[in-house]
Structure 1
Amino acid sequence: MTSKEELRPIKLWVTSPGPNPWKPVMILEELGLPIEYKLLFWEELMTPEFAKINPGGKVPVMYDPNTDLTLWESGAIILYLIEQYDTEKKLTYTSLKKKNLLNQWLMFQMSQQGPFFGQIGWLIIMPRFNYFHPDKVPSVIERYNKQSERILNILNEALEGKDWLVGDKCTYADLSFFMWNVILPLSVQSPPGETPLSKYPNVMAWHNRMAVMESVKKTIATRQKMMDEEGMGADALPKDTNAEEMLQKMKDNGAA
């Protein structure tokens, strides 16, 4: 295989707030792979041009010129990067048992944590800006809050007496959860001085262990830089947003 020094940059289409686009970025950074970012605004996701790359209108999308492969879906991209480039098994294992446990947790992240945490954000953050759902529905919000608590309880129990989900090192499975935990405070209120993770000490400690990794810090810094350049606020929405104008742009592009 071509050495890392000879690799052409792997292209990654992202939106700055994320969080899904930044999951594979942490893997790329941890493996020391070159990245070329393609930053998009929300209204660009459903344009005919982007639909040629991903008909689902979502990010991340990856194009690896070294293998001439285009992939969308963050989990698929992560698995590809691990298989293709983690030759030293830095973020994975070789044993049948551990490899499949890693896949189990990645699937749990993709089917549980991401969707439920995302729906909370959709219901809490979006109504504040009157994009799609101007009315809050308490029973629906309660359901997604309870589901999020269930997910955090599962993780907290799984991490009892352990630093990592599988084995004795941070893997791609652990990193896949990080970004959604980062944005959870945007939609779940906590008492002063606490976060939504405070009730789950094992999850909090696990999250903090990842937060000090150089690859994670670099990913967070890159994301923040892009958000600043786009004028995004702490809530991951444009600071000077005119809700009606943005909604109209998204409708014009078929995104709403």
Structure 2
Amino acid sequence: MTSLPDIHLYTWLTCNGVKISIALEELSLPYKVTEVDIGSGKQKEAWFTDINPNGRIPAITDGNKRIFESGAILLYLADRYDSDNKFSYAHGTPEYYEQLSWIMFQMGGVGPMQGQANHFRLFASEYSQYSIDRYMEETKRLYGVLNRRLTQSAWLAGDKYTIADICNYGWVRYAPLALRLDLDEFPALKNWHDAIAEREAVRKGVNVPRASSDQELMQRYRLLEQKTLARKINK
């Protein structure tokens, strides 16, 4: 018998952070939340690196267990609390490995490339058009892979919405806001994004640890973008 959850989520409003709050909401699991303000460096403080030695959000504890890396957390939640496979597939099935493949596609491809695009557009101390172009183009290439898959199937793995979709949605959601990436270039991906965005659990999950409208997020990103462009002018 599965023990009752004692989940504590450590997170911030980021592409990786919202994956976990969405999954917890989809699974209707009770959980506590601690904000880890990455802008002020809270993720590097000793109390948090005791939970995630790498000093990155998100992380969870569940009783005496700690789990960090968003992909690992999603797999843990599915293994532990999705015994009826409502949002995942049973181990050993072809669909399970398809699900795992799309999770790793995000963790090893979309996340690193889009993350670098975010960095060079919004946070870099020196302006680099080459770096912006390189990582934006690679992000678009990876979105093309997602789009092709979603022209063949409504969902990334098998015939239902799973943690593979949640994993990738966390990043796709932020691309128009942070990178001005036009999802209309990827029609199947946009339809998939819009369908997920309408889910009640998703609407709740994207507002953890605090509510923030898309407009507020865009204003924040535009200010960061202006600072980066100012560095180009001042070079």
Deviation string, structure 1 residues 54-90 (Cα, Å, up to 9, x no partner): 121101111001xx21011001111011011101110
Encode CA deviations 1:82-140: one digit per residue, 9 max, x unaligned. Answer: 011101110112362110010000000101111111111111112xxxxxx33211111
Q: What is the distance in 1 between the residues matched to 2:203 and 2:130?
A: 37
- What pairs with 1:102-181 in structure 2 (closer than 5 Å)? 102-126=99-123, 133-181=124-172
Measure the CA separation in 1 of the matches of 2:208 and 2:55: 23
Q: TM-score, normalised by structure 1?
A: 0.79
Give the aligned partner of residue 188 of structure 2.
202
Alignment-derived partner of residue 86 in structure 1:
82
Q: Which residue of 2 aligns with 1:251?
A: none
Q: Distance in 2 between matches of 1:239 and 1:50?
A: 30
Contact 1:23 1:179 in 2 (8 A): yes
Q: What is the TM-score of this pair, normalised by structure 2? A: 0.86
Q: Indicate the SS of the match to 2:120.
A: helix
Relative to structure 1, is the Cα distance of residues 176 and 183 closer, same or farther in structure 2, using a 3 angstrom cutoff? same
Q: Give runs of ≥4 in structure 1 deviating > 4 Å.
A: 235-241
- CA RMSD in angstroms comes to 2.3
Residue matched to 1:64: 62
2:190 alignment partner AA: M
Which runs of no fewer than 5 residues in structure 2 stay unpaired? 225-235
Q: 1:36 aligns with which of 32, 35, 39?
A: 32
Query: Which stretches in structure 1 are left out of the alignment for 5+ residues?
Result: 127-132, 190-194, 242-256
Kept after mapping to 2: 8 A contact 1:121/1:186:
no
Identity %: 31
